[in-house]
């Protein structure tokens, strides 16, 4: 049975962003009902029991995060919506914000009600002009309709949503970096603890959630936990720390495919299915050499590397749930943005491009990341120019291994994300790198790719 999209059900409709249309499809009915019949704690419990995990990248259980807020806090408590979707090749939030902003807004209203927040900040990256305008228009509609503001629908619940546009920095997607930027400071991630739930924006308890998570909250409240749990992958019984990967997920397919697009599927589809069935296969009749299973920072999979103990399967066949990519040495599911690299593309060029991105986006606060990302860029640039040495590969792996929050040498996870693609690429494609060094061949691209962004 084909899966019917839920989160994306309305995006193809005419005027999908308008309140009228959203109402006609049953929108805000749940919010009105919740305001009338449910206590905030009931909403939190329902979201917690649904097994919803954050869609922003780390996959932290959303309801559990909400329970970290201090009990009986006099307020204010803030909700920050992380719409700083900067991971390369990721655009699932953008579709929701541009085409169905009310679905996200309803999620924000429900979540704010659950965590007793009266103020939500919608932090959107600068580059998303259309998304900003459509979301702002939707917010204006809600104010006009009495769905936002003081004493909403006579319930006594107040909520204001403010849009805040970033200035074009990847690091603003890190939750404490986002909070710093929101406060008007340089987006240098904060030291944790204290976590934002205890001390966040303006030193008040703050919850930071992703746009897609908000859309999921709307659907969970509308359709119930049984529906949500009927999709996806249950917890691995062998792994007591696995919380399962339930629900629908927006996957974006990018790179060397025939039909790059964003599709909604239940969690757990394999990379091969996603690319071949939904992405129209690898372009120009070529084969996939490598894929990123979830945004650049998750690292690379080698599509020809057989999986141990599973006959005929390769890393191309890993399931895209919260655990799948981890089994092949990738960092995780991340943003579920698949980038396909075909067999005609040099991994040296790919890696150089990756290093260029992270070197440009490192906020520069912690020494290992600031210097490490810059160094890796210099080395990969030299490799690309045909002046590499064998030792360079060891240096790259060494640097990539030692930077990040996992070894404990940085404040935030950007450095892990910068190191992961480097070490997975070199470990999995070492032969290709060595051949490139041996032959001294220069890259076919004489210039580095130009970074495109707000600045």
Rule CB under 8 A: which residues touch other proteins?
Answer: 169, 186, 188, 191, 359-368, 370-375, 378-379, 381-382, 389, 391-392, 395, 402, 406-411
Q: Which is nearer to other proteins, 378 or 445 (CB)?
A: 378
User: Is-contact 165 129, C-beta < 8 A?
Assistant: no
- Within 8 A by CB and 6+ apart from 44, the residues are 63, 66, 67, 114, 115
Q: Which is nearer to other proteins, 60 or 375 (CB)?
A: 375
Taking the complex as a whole, how short is the minimal distance between the CB of residue 408 and other proteins, in angstroms? 3
Taking the complex as a whole, how short is the minimal distance between the CB of residue 381 and other proteins, in angstroms? 8
Taking the complex as a whole, how short is the minimal distance between the CB of residue 187 and other proteins, in angstroms? 10
Q: Which is nearer to other proteins, 296 or 411 (CB)?
A: 411
User: Is-contact 177 411, C-beta < 8 A?
Assistant: no
Taking the complex as a whole, how short is the minimal distance between the CB of residue 360 and other proteins, in angstroms? 6
Q: How far apart are CA 90 and CA 292, in angstroms?
A: 11
Distances (CA, A) of 168 to 123, 383, 410, 451: 12, 29, 22, 12
Taking the complex as a whole, how short is the minimal distance between the CB of residue 181 and other proteins, in angstroms? 13
Among 40, 425, 6, which Cα is nearest to 250's? 6
Taking the complex as a whole, how short is the minimal distance between the CB of residue 453 and other proteins, in angstroms? 12
Neighbours of 207 (CB within 10 A): 25
Q: Which is nearer to other proteins, 333 or 399 (CB)?
A: 399
Q: Compute CA 432 distance to the chain's CA centroid, rounded to the nearest angstrom.
A: 30
Between vectors from CA 232 to CA 231 and to CA 234, what angle results, nearest 5°?
110
- Within 8 A by CB and 6+ apart from 438, the residues are none
Q: Which is nearer to other proteins, 257 or 363 (CB)?
A: 363
Taking the complex as a whole, how short is the minimal distance between the CB of residue 205 and other proteins, in angstroms? 21
Q: How far apart are CA 224 and CA 53, in angstroms?
A: 15
Q: How far apart are CA 232 and CA 52, in angstroms?
A: 11
Q: Which is nearer to other proteins, 346 or 365 (CB)?
A: 365
Taking the complex as a whole, how short is the minimal distance between the CB of residue 375 and other proteins, in angstroms? 6
Question: To which residue do tokens 């895209």 refer?
Answer: 320
Distances (CA, A) of 98 to 39, 103, 105, 134, 454: 31, 11, 12, 6, 19
Q: Which is nearer to other proteins, 13 or 370 (CB)?
A: 370
Q: Which is nearer to other proteins, 107 or 368 (CB)?
A: 368
Among 322, 341, 367, which Cα is nearest to 421's? 341
């Amino acid at each position: 049975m084909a899966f019917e999209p839920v989160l994306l059900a309305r995006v193809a409709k005419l005027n999908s962003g308008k309140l009228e249309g959203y109402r006609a499809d049953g929108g805000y009915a749940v919010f009105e009902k919740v305001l009338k019949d449910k206590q905030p704690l009931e909403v939190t419990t329902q979201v917690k029991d649904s097994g919803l995990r954050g869609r922003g990248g780390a996959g932290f259980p959303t309801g559990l995060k909400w329970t970290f807020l201090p009990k009986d806090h006099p307020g204010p408590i803030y909700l920050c919506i992380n719409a700083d979707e900067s991971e390369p090749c990721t655009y699932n939030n953008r579709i929701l914000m541009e085409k169905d902003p009310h679905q996200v807004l309803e999620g924000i209203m429900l979540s704010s009600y659950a965590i007793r927040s009266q103020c939500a900040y919608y932090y959107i990256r600068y580059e998303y002009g259309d998304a900003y305008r459509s979301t702002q228009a939707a917010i204006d509609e809600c104010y006009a309709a009495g769905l936002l503001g003081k004493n909403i629908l006579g319930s006594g619940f107040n909520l204001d949503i403010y849009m805040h546009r970033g200035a074009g920095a990847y690091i603003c997607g890190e939750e404490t970096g986002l909070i710093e930027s929101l406060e008007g400071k340089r987006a240098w991630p904060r030291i944790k603890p204290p976590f934002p739930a205890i001390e966040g924006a303006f030193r008040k308890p703050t919850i930071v959630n992703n746009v897609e998570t908000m859309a999921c909250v709307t659907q969970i409240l509308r359709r119930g936990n049984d529906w949500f749990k009927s999709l996806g992958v249950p917890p691995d019984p062998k792994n007591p720390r696995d919380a399962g990967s339930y629900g629908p997920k927006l996957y974006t397919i990018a790179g060397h495919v025939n039909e790059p697009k964003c599709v909604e599927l239940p969690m757990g589809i394999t990379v091969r299915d996603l690319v071949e069935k939904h992405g129209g296969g690898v372009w120009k009749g070529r084969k996939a050499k490598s894929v990123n299973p979830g945004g650049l920072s998750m690292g690379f999979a080698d599509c020809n590397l057989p999986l141990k103990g599973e006959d005929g399967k390769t890393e191309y066949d890993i399931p895209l749930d919260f655990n799948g990519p981890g089994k092949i040495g990738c960092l995780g599911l991340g943003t579920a943005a698949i980038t396909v690299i075909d067999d005609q593309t040099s991994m040296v060029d790919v890696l150089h491009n990756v290093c260029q991105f992270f070197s440009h986006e490192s906020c520069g606060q912690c020494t290992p990341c600031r210097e490490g990302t810059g160094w890796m860029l210099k080395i990969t640039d030299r490799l690309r120019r045909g002046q590499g040495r064998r030792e360079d590969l060891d240096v790259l792996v060494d640097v990539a291994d030692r930077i990040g929050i996992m070894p404990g040498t940085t404040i935030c996870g950007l450095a892990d994300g910068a190191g992961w693609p480097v070490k997975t690429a070199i470990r999995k494609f070492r032969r290709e790198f060595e051949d490139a060094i041996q032959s001294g061949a220069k890259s076919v691209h004489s210039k580095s790719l130009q970074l495109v962004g707000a600045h």
